[in-house]
A and B are shown apart, each in its own frame.
Chain A
Amino acid sequence: MSVYVSDFTTTPWTVHHDDAPGGAHQGTVDPTTIVHTKNPAGTDDHNFLIVVCPVCQAASTHPVGGGAQPASVQQMFVTKCQTDGCVCGQVAATDADTLAESHVRLQVNRQDGPGRWQLG
């Protein structure tokens, strides 16, 4: 499936790498190591996050819509946005969690269309 977060409940987060060459494996990552990709201009792109496998260093770039693992990836974007705010400046870390979730949901709708949202 890719390198994705399977457990957000404890820090560091647990990640799985399901389609790793040679077989699936898992490990933990510090959430602060999960960062956005850069736009060609060098600014952070709030539509993508990179998760690096702690075992084999494979790096999965997840779109906010969810890509290979929609529920997990959307939750990752929401949690990051609630904790750090959004790099686009529309959501601050001090804003209500619901604002962060609404912001990510809007991103999902824009990227993959209505109906893609997997969270409750």
Chain B
Amino acid sequence: MPNITPELGLAIAVDSDDTATYLETNLGGSLTTVDSLFNASSGHTHSGAHQGGPITSAGVADGSLTNAKLGPDVARANLLTNGGFEIWQRGNGPFTGGVFSADRWVASIAGTDTLSISKDTTNVDSAQGSTAAAACTFTLGTGAGNTAIIQQLKSNDYPQLQNLTFSASMRVRTSTANAVRLGFYNGSTWTYSAMHPGDGTWRTLTATGTAIAAPAVVQPAVFFAASCTAYLDNANLVVGSQPANYMALHPGDELARAQRYYEIIGIQPGAFNFTVYQAAGTAVWLPIQFRTSKAVNPTLTKNGTWPVANCNQPSFVGGGPDLFSIGATATATGTVSFNNSVSGCTVTAEANP
């Protein structure tokens, strides 16, 4: 059985059918040799890469990688505001009832269920860089799994939602099995993730759906079906059939997003001071521009009793998505002043589309 082609590692043998047959003794080596001979004769080159080696970018045709091929660690634009549950402008809670807690996340309470939500800086998804999460204490009543924490994307705020496929994801931790799942509403129907298994670890729950034409709203929501304590963190909503891991924006960008819907003016006591000489019975108005234009005309709330001199408590006039005016009427001719030097004296602007 001579080795007639030692370069290719081939040999000829005659077996029981009396037919001479090539036997390979080193298939990988023989293919490499053939490949080299082909390159030498044709001028073709692999730049050192051979069949079976790693695929480099040069080996992938431009524009050929589809969304369906992407892994969750490929960062994509998150459509949610405060998906990381890092911003809590309304305070740390606890929040109960159908109210906002973390910015843009609103609870919807079904039946006699109860849900308490607080900011938690201990039980966080630290593997993905989180510093805050939503701690939820849920007690099942007659809600039958319909109590939820939702972030709505309304078409009058997001006008380009229709017909797109969305994938939602959220990191959830609970020790109660079959208590928490993620849902996605496409404007008509819900799709759901599997239930969290209740193993006490952070799990990524995902749900995908395609928005209907002209939806009034699309929204991800986390639903509670059994009494439990659950922690929510790092939610993401991306265009495409493949969910993506949450990746934080620059904190300035994330705060600007949140302030499109809720903004506090005068967080630092004493930062707001206004003094002017005014005739008796006349009003003076100070226009203030919001840091971020609001989604709709906002509600303005003056909190606290402001220190004033020679005027009534300040109030508002006019106002729109981009600015408002605060002012007061002089009691007598002279210096009018008001300020927020007392803690809790702020103005909040809230615009919920």
A residues whose Cβ falls under 8 Å from a Cβ of B? 1-4, 18-21, 24, 37-40, 42, 45, 48, 50, 56-63, 65-70, 73, 111-113, 115-116
Binds A, one of B187-195, B226-234, B249-257, B344-352: B344-352
- Would you call A60 and B305 a contact (CB within 8 A)? no
B residues whose Cβ falls under 8 Å from a Cβ of A? 90-91, 95-97, 99-100, 155-156, 283, 285, 296-305, 313, 315-319, 344, 348, 350-353
Task: Given A21-B303, A24-B97, A60-B300, check contact A40 B350 (CB 8 Å).
Answer: no
Residue of A nearest to B299 (CB): A67
Task: Given A57-B305, A61-B301, check contact A67 B350 (CB 8 Å).
Answer: yes
Shortest distance from the beta carbon of B56 to any chain A beta carbon, whole Å? 50
- Would you call A60 and B344 a contact (CB within 8 A)? no
Which 4 A-B residue pairings sit nearest by Cβ, starting from the closest?
A67-B299, A68-B350, A63-B297, A68-B299
- Would you call A69 and B299 a contact (CB within 8 A)? yes
Residue of A nearest to B351 (CB): A67
- Would you call A68 and B156 a contact (CB within 8 A)? no
Interchain Cβ contacts under 8 Å between A and B, 28 examples = A2-B350, A18-B97, A18-B99, A20-B303, A21-B91, A24-B97, A40-B317, A56-B304, A59-B315, A61-B299, A61-B300, A61-B315, A61-B316, A63-B296, A65-B296, A66-B296, A67-B299, A68-B298, A68-B299, A68-B351, A69-B299, A69-B352, A70-B352, A111-B297, A112-B296, A115-B156, A116-B156, A116-B353
Residues on A with beta carbons closer than 8 Å to the beta carbon of B285:
40
Residues on B with beta carbons closer than 8 Å to the beta carbon of A113:
156
Residues on A with beta carbons closer than 8 Å to the beta carbon of B348:
2, 19
Residue of A nearest to B93 (CB): A23
Given contacts A56-B303, A61-B300, 5 further A-B contacts (CB under 8 A): A59-B301, A60-B299, A62-B299, A67-B350, A115-B155
- Would you call B301 and A58 a contact (CB within 8 A)? yes
Shortest distance from the beta carbon of B295 to any chain A beta carbon, whole Å? 9
Secondary structure class of chain B's binding surface, majority of residues: loop
Secondary structure class of chain A's binding surface, majority of residues: loop
- Would you call B319 and A63 a contact (CB within 8 A)? yes
CA distance A69 to B319 in the complex (A): 17
CA distance A79 to B72 in the complex (A): 51
Residues on B with beta carbons closer than 8 Å to the beta carbon of A73:
299
Residues on A with beta carbons closer than 8 Å to the beta carbon of B96:
24
Task: Given A1-B99, A115-B155, A116-B156, check contact A67 B297 (CB 8 Å).
Answer: yes
CA distance A19 to B156 in the complex (A): 25
Shortest distance from the beta carbon of A65 to any chain B beta carbon, whole Å? 5
Shortest distance from the beta carbon of A23 to any chain B beta carbon, whole Å? 8
Which of the residues B95, B99, B305, B317 comes within 8 Å of A38, measured between beta carbons? B317
Residue of A nearest to B261 (CB): A68
- Would you call B299 and A2 a contact (CB within 8 A)? yes
